[in-house]
Amino acid sequence: MMCHWRAAVAAAVLVAAVPRGARAQIDYRNLDDDRPTRIEDAYPVERYAFELIAPYRVERERGGTTLHAFIWEAAYGIVRNGQLGLKLPVAAVAAGGRTTWGLSGLRAFALYNLNTEGPALPALALRADGILPVGALGGAEARGAVRAIATRSFGRSRLHLNGEIGFGPDAAAATVEGATRWWYGAALDRTLFRHSTLLIAEVYALRPSAAAPVEVHGSLGVRRQVTPTLVLDAGISRGFRKQLGPEIEFTLGFSHAFGVSALMPRGRRTANVEGGADAHRH
C-alpha cells in the first residue's frame, strides 16, 4: 500500500511542478467530474468549444482485485451555458491471476448551467446521463442519472455541492462509469502558484445499488495548466468505511480544449479558444 501512496504523491508533485507555459490561465479551474475528483463545478465548456479528456485510473479493491480504466471523454459547447458529452470507458479487471479487458458501457451526458454566480445565489446546473450496456464489462441493462450542481466562490477558493439520483435496474451494472443508486458530496478547491494550479479536496457518500451499504469516500487532487489549452491532473482517493470502497485509487490524466473554426459563426472564427470555458466560469 505504501508504494501506491508514494506513486500518487510523486505524480501530484510532478503535475504541480510542470513549468507554466500558458499565456492565459483559465482552464485549470474547470472542475470536470473525475478530473481528478468525482465532484464537478456548475459551468460547461465554452460555446462552440471542444474538450478532450484522456485519463488513466487504477483502483485497488480491499479484496485484492485491481481495476485499470481508461475513460476517454469528449465534450462540446453546443449552446451558450450548455454542453453535450460522451464517455467511452475501457477497463481491465485483474483478479485471481487473470485479467479481463473490455468496454465498460457507453455514457452520454448533457449539462446546462441555469445561472451564473451572483450575490445571493451560487452558480447552479443540472446534468442528465444515459449509460448503455456496451462491451464485455458494460453490464446488462441501460441506466440513467440526474445530477444537481452548485458552485460558490470565496476569493481564491470555491465550494461545490453535487447530488445525483440513478435510475434503472441494479443488476449487472457497468464495471466503470455505471450509475449508482444515489450519491452526494462536497468539494473545496483553492488556486495556488500565480493562478495556474488548483488543489481540490472532497468527500462524498454513495449507495451503489438499492441493497448495498452506503460507502463514504475521500479524495485529494491537483490540476496544473501547462499551456493555454492543456491541463494535467492527478488525484488519490480511498473508502473511509471498513471493507467498503477502494483500498486506494489513483488517477492521472490531461485535458485539451480547442475550437474548430468551421463550426463557429462567422463573427467568432477569428477568436481563439484559450481555455474551454466562458469568462464567467472563473
pLDDT at 194: 66
Q: Identify whether 228 is part of a domain.
A: yes
Q: Identify whether 60 is part of a domain.
A: yes
Buried b / exposed e over 242-266, threshold 16 CB at 10 Å, is eebbbbbbbbbbbbebebeeeebee
Q: Identify whether 36 is part of a domain.
A: yes
172: domain CATH number?
Answer: 2.40.160.40
Q: Identify whether 162 is part of a domain.
A: yes
Q: Identify whether 254 is part of a domain.
A: yes
pLDDT at 160: 98
Distance between CA atoms of residues 212 and 113, nearest Å? 32
Q: Identify whether 34 is part of a domain.
A: yes
Predicted TM-score of the model (pTM)? 0.85
204-229, pLDDT tens digit by residue? 999 998 888 999 999 999 999 998 88
- Do 150 and 42 touch, CB atoms closer than 8 A? yes
Domain count, the chain: 1
Low-confidence ranges of the chain (pLDDT < 70): 1-26, 171-172, 193-195, 266-282
The long-range contacts involving 199-208, CB below 8 angstroms and separated by at least 24 positions, are 200/31, 200/36, 200/37, 200/235, 202/37, 202/38, 202/39, 204/38, 204/39, 204/162, 206/180, 206/182, 207/180, 207/181, 207/182, 207/183, 208/173, 208/180, 208/181
Select from 113, 108, 107, 106 the least CA-distant residue to 45. Answer: 113
For the record, the C-alpha cell of 104 comes out as 465498460
Q: Identify whether 277 is part of a domain.
A: no
95-140, pLDDT tens digit by residue? 888 899 999 999 999 999 999 999 999 999 999 999 999 998 888 8
Domain with 61 in it? 2-259
pLDDT at 281: 52
Q: Identify whether 39 is part of a domain.
A: yes
